[in-house]
Amino acid sequence: MNRILCERESDVVETLRRGSFSDELRGHVRSCSICTETQVVAEMLLQTASLLRVEHEPSAAGLVWRLAQVRKNEIALKRATRPLIVMRAMSAVYVVFSAAWLLHYFWRSGSMESISGWNGFLDETAWFGVAIAVLAMAIGAWYLLRDGGHSVEGIPST
Amino acid sequence: MDESFSVAGTLSLVDKEATAMDEQEFRALHDATARPILAYLLGVMGRRDVAEDVLQETYCRFLVRQPAPMDANETRRYLFRIATNLLRDRWRKGDDEPWQEVSEGWFSVDVDTQMDVRAAMRALKPRERELLWLAYVEGMNHAEIAAATGLSALSVRMLLFRARRKAAGLLLAERSTR
């Protein structure tokens, strides 16, 4: 059965990474197909890696730091405005329900005559007031969120 | 060649407390780890533009997440893990064709070695390049590679064996035809 591991493989890799082969290890590599393969591949990769590390300069740490700070601020702002988004959704629900309730009321009162005559409507005046208040809240919440959205967009990208 | 000692020195400050890193600490971390990670990304991708994007994104994610304090080696492995995941995300989305091209100056050792390495790297799958790089350049053991790649240690062992055999076959075949 073919072996897939040799317990000296890690020694070969470590030696290639850090130092020179002992005679004993060199002898083992000559007699072990796994360690021979490991040596060939690891040498090629280590040579490539050392060239790449010398030849390619990473971006400046300061630039990466500033990018991360901008990203952090954006995330913090999104978190802070999340309750307002929930409020806006709730306001929309209130408006829809209020509108439905009003339509339902007029439908049940017989016809649009009730609007012109205000017959029976006074009993419901308080409810109508509530609906108006909710509408005002909805408009207010929308305005606030629109303002918040502009603030997020105003953050420079770099 | 071994950078873990310098990393250990400069990153002991990461262990201070669970608060966010300041810019000075980040610079020390970046100086100690950016080159090896960029080399890894270039080695696996073969494209500088993609490698630089992924490197920046790796550090941004690290800073935004603010992981619990860890020692220098853990931090280094954590960064490799983020970079590896980002590479995989890009391949899944089909953003990049790995190893479409190789930048100039890549293999400036000698022409024969150049051909060997090009042929071997092109023939390997991205996952195979990842595993071989982490094992032989970064010196990670199977458990550490498993943590960085999201594979099981058993899968790492098998895949690494196949990748090594394939790469060695390609390199030795190239040499014997010269």
> What tens digit of pLDDT does each residue of A25-42 get?
989 999 999 999 999 999
Contact between A52 and B117 using a beta-carbon 8 Å cutoff: no
* Residue A111 or residue B153, greater confidence: B153
Instruction: For B72-107, give one letter per residue: b (16+ CB within 10 A) or e.
Output: bebbbbbbbbbbbbbbeebeeeeebebbeebeeebb
Burial of B3 from C-beta contacts in 10 A (0-12 / 13-18 / 19+): middle
Percent of chain B with pLDDT over 70: 74
The residues of chain A scoring below 50 in pLDDT are 1, 151-158
Q: Token match 């007699």: residue?
A: A31
Contact between A68 and B107 using a beta-carbon 8 Å cutoff: no
B4 pLDDT higher than 60: no
Residue B122: pLDDT band (50, 70, 90) is confident
pLDDT of residue B11: 45
B9 pLDDT higher than 50: no
Residue B112 CA to residue B121 CA, distance in Å, equals 14
Contact between B158 and A64 using a beta-carbon 8 Å cutoff: no
Residue B5 CA to residue B161 CA, distance in Å, equals 29
B132 pLDDT higher than 80: yes
Residue B157: pLDDT band (50, 70, 90) is very high
Chain A residue with the nearest C-alpha to that of B141: A10
Task: Count the alpha carbons within 13 Å of B92 in the hemisphere toward its beta carbon.
Answer: 6
Residue B171: pLDDT band (50, 70, 90) is confident
Chain B residue with the nearest C-alpha to that of A41: B168
Residue type, B54: V
Residues in chain A with CB shorter than 8 Å from the CB of B136 are 13, 16, 38, 41-42, 45-46
Q: Average pLDDT in the B167-174 region? A: 85
pLDDT of residue A128: 76
pLDDT of residue B8: 43
* Residue B105 or residue B87, greater confidence: B87
* Residue B19 or residue A95, greater confidence: A95
pLDDT of residue B142: 92
End-to-end distance of chain A based on CA atoms, in angstroms? Answer: 58
pLDDT of residue B70: 85
* Residue B37 or residue B66, greater confidence: B37
Please give the torsion angle defined by the CA atoms of residues A126, A130, A132 and A133, in that order, rounded to the nearest 10 degrees.
130
Residues in chain B with CB shorter than 8 Å from the CB of A48 are 43, 106-107, 117
pLDDT of residue A158: 34
Residue B65: pLDDT band (50, 70, 90) is confident
Q: Token match 């030795």: residue?
A: B172
pLDDT of residue A153: 44
pLDDT of residue B113: 60
End-to-end distance of chain B based on CA atoms, in angstroms? Answer: 30
Residue B101: pLDDT band (50, 70, 90) is very low
Per-window interface: B 106-165 vs A, CB < 8 A: 106-109, 113, 116-117, 120, 132-133, 135-137, 139, 141, 157-158, 161, 164-165
pLDDT of residue A105: 76
Task: Collect all residues with Cβ–Cβ distance below 8 Å to A16 and sequence separation of at least 6.
Answer: A39, A42, A43, A46, B136
